[in-house]
Amino acid sequence: MFPRSDSPRVSIDLHSHTNASDGTLTPAELIALARRVNLVALSITDHDTFEGYDIALPIARAAGFDLVRGIELNSRLLMDGFSHSRFVHVLVYFPLREPTPEFHNWLAEQRADRRSRNEKLAKALQERGVDITLQEVEARGRTLAGRPHFARLLVEKGYVANFEDAFEKYLGEEAPSYVERESKTTEEVINLARQGGGIPVVAHPIRIGLARAVEHDVLTDLKQAGLVGLEVYHSDHPPALQAYYRDLAAELDLLPTGGSDFHGTVKPDIELGSGRAHNVNVPLEFLEGLRRFEQ
Ligand SMILES: [Zn+2]
Ligand SMILES: [Zn+2]
């Protein structure tokens, strides 16, 4: 640990998860940690839910701590009208305004859809003689419960040797118990975010896995569809890549954002505020940029 006098930086973290999605800390523990590591602002961006943020808000307010409402949504990338089975995580921030009732309704629908897909899959597996319940899957996956959690259970219970087997025999498109998964396209999610009063940002672009020229074109198209920001700083982005994405954001007129994507003990090498081996240090200007955009 560095003595406090060695770290005069004023930094923030715009990407973190609580145990309302797939993190391990409670919202109260996350706020306490954010204050301990001297962050001046934090966004809780759980997958598909505001539950963690809602619990954290009164705690943050009582402490005079700047908490920003956010959420992380998955989407399917379409290129040239075709789905290439690539997924884009979209962070949506609400730094000043509240989400519209329509946005809340849409989230509730998403959760209901996910639940009914999981119900169908559990039933299809039970019909094939597999002893698995929806409750067991949901206990592992919470708001994200889905096929990876089914796969983990199938391995744990000895039905298959590994994840690959689980998908091949039970969960994949070729398996007789396959249940189709629907997800919105990235453009649809961007639209819903904008109409819902939020600011959509492409999260950890490196994970989309596109070649640079293709990535440039995809982001250009998404910007035209209403994309506002690009996550420049992230635990998965080494310093050279952060510099690259910062230039790209400037070139495409996208607001730069950043965060550690902290999850707690499930990703022990990632620290709140500072990422992986201190590779993340997000300046307060990024949040000011988001707030200016909304005004
Ligand atoms: Zn993500
Ligand atoms: Zn995340």
Topology at the third CATH level for domain 108-171: DNA polymerase; domain 1 (1.10.150)
Distance (angstroms) between ligand 2 centre and the Cα of 165 equals: 27
* Model confidence band, residue 84 (pLDDT cutoffs 50, 70, 90): low
Alpha carbon separation from 53 to 34, 66, 152, 165, 230 (Å, rounded): 14, 12, 28, 37, 22
- What integer pLDDT is reported at residue 141 of this predicted model? 80
For residue 70, which ligand has an atom nearest its CA? 2
Distance (angstroms) between ligand 2 centre and the Cα of 263 equals: 8
Q: What is d(CA 103, CA 80) in angstroms, rounded to the nearest whole number?
A: 28
Distance (angstroms) between ligand 2 centre and the Cα of 89 equals: 8
Cβ atoms of residues 150 and 125 within 8 Å: yes
- What integer pLDDT is reported at residue 9 of this predicted model? 64
Opening angle at CA 12, ends 91 and 291, nearest 5: 60
Q: What is d(CA 168, CA 175) in angstroms, rounded to the nearest whole number?
A: 6
Which tens digit of pLDDT belongs to each residue from 193-237? 999 999 999 999 999 999 999 999 999 999 999 999 999 999 999
What are the backbone dihedrals phi and psi of residue 176, each rounded to the nearest 5 degrees, phi first?
Answer: -65, -20
Contacts with 247 (C-beta within 8 Å, 6 or more apart), sequence order: none
Q: pTM, whole model, 2 decimals?
A: 0.88
Counting beta carbons within 10 angstroms of the beta carbon of residue 282, is it exposed (0 to 12), middle (13 to 18) or buried (19 or more)?
buried
Q: What is d(CA 13, CA 81) in angstroms, rounded to the nearest whole number?
A: 35
Distance (angstroms) between ligand 1 centre and the Cα of 207 equals: 8
Looking at the chain, the whole-number percentage of residues with pLDDT higher than 90 is 77
Domain boundaries, the chain: 10-97+198-294, 108-171
Q: Is the pLDDT of residue 261 over 60?
A: yes
Distance (angstroms) between ligand 1 centre and the Cα of 232 equals: 13
Distance (angstroms) between ligand 2 centre and the Cα of 127 equals: 35
- What integer pLDDT is reported at residue 292 of this predicted model? 95
Distance (angstroms) between ligand 1 centre and the Cα of 88 equals: 8
CATH number of 10-97+198-294: 3.20.20.140
β-strand pairing of 282-283 with 82-94: unpaired
Looking at the chain, the whole-number percentage of residues with pLDDT higher than 70 is 94
Q: What is d(CA 267, CA 284) in angstroms, rounded to the nearest whole number?
A: 25
3-state secondary structure at position 233: strand
Torsion of CA 288, 289, 290, 294, to 10 degrees: 100
Which tens digit of pLDDT belongs to each residue from 29-48? 999 999 999 999 999 999 99
Q: Which residues are placed with Cβ below 5 angstroms of ligand 1, an ion?
A: 89, 203
- What integer pLDDT is reported at residue 183 of this predicted model? 79
Which tens digit of pLDDT belongs to each residue from 96-146? 999 999 999 999 998 888 888 899 999 999 999 999 999 999 888 877 788
